[in-house]
Amino acid sequence: IVAAFFFVVLLGGTLAYAQLTPTFYDQTCPNVSTIIRDVITETLVSDPRIGASLIRLHFHDCFVNGCDGSLLLDNSDTIVSEKEAGGNNNSARGFEVVDRMKALLESACPATVSCADILTIAAEESVVLAGGPNWTVPLGRRDSTTASRDAANAFLLPPTLTLDQLREGFTNVSLNNNSDLVALSGAHTFGRAKCSTFDFRLYDFNSTGAPDPSLDPTLLAALQELCPQGGNGSVLTNLDLTTPDAFDSNYYSNLQGNQGLLQTDQVLFSTPGADDIIALVNAFSANQTAFFESFAESMIRMGNLSPLTGTEGEIRLNCSVVNANLAGPDSMLVSSI
């Protein structure tokens, strides 16, 4: 039964991204990954958060109508930007770094590399540069000419969800609500979060007038000092207490010690009866190689949700603007790229 289940999942994934291939840019832009990696490496010197921020952009792009670069579009007469959706507004970051990657790629390989593929490659390179696994990235996505703030508000998962709600959110975008959920949550092994994303756990959890009982008391005291009630919700703290800038399995060990920062982290280990989820947390904590392998597989699945390929969409020349708006309404040549 288990073997049959994984065959169905794998078959479904194959059908979903049959037109993508890791060799897509081998002839047209062979240095694409090197260019993207160099930008990330340079940025990390002054911004150690950028790797986590870039992988988050990829997540938030793929969870909204597939991996099509729609998150990167600014407001215009025809676009209602996803950047201002609840899960992105004053939260998603790294857009200027993506713009720098795109400018360099346009110089090296004009009108060739999509913004959706830039996000996909940047996510993998960010993980590798932080000490995590590498994986072969299927490429050939094209860019959407539309965005949907309504879909972003509907499908991006806030940090206040229960485990059942998280599982439903993964099911809604055709990801596995067990292995993909636990593995992809491991992306919180690096990066930062604002007080506003977890301070409800510190004082009035679920309107009880008390803190979240699943939060380690020592961590609770430290977080209450950092995030006083009614204080500045923009203050940042590490998602992973032990190795905040490294991609490793310590995220899962933190959950075992009730030190998951976000509710959506800790519920993976502290939800009564969730034995299958807890077993995965324990397995990934004990075996980093198993986590790395599962994470890579899940990133490939997520990165291939509903891609635009062939003649669908376009190759944007500027990631924040559709080509028709960039070149003007009379430019049929550019808008058809």
Report CA 115 to chain centroid distance, whole Å. 15
Q: Annotated catalytic residue: which of 37, 56, 58, 60?
A: 60
204 is in an annotated binding site: no
- Annotated catalytic, 60? yes
Is 66 marked as a binding-site residue? yes
Residue 173 assigned as binding residue: no
Q: Are 55 and 71 in contact (CB under 8 A)?
A: no
Task: State the Cα–Cα distance between residues 257 and 182, nearest whole angstrom.
Answer: 17
Instruction: Mention every residue, 6+ apart, whose C-beta is less than 8 A from residue 230.
Output: none
Residue 188 annotated in ligand binding: yes
| Residue 82 assigned ligand-binding role | yes
Q: Is 68 labelled as part of a ligand binding site?
A: yes
143 is in an annotated binding site: no
- The one-letter amino acid code at 245 reads D
From the annotation, which residues make up the binding site?
61, 64, 66, 68, 70, 82, 188-189, 240, 243, 248
Q: Which residues are catalytic?
A: 60
From the annotation, which residues make up the binding site for Ca(2+)?
61, 64, 66, 68, 70, 82, 189, 240, 243, 248
From the annotation, which residues make up the binding site for heme b?
188
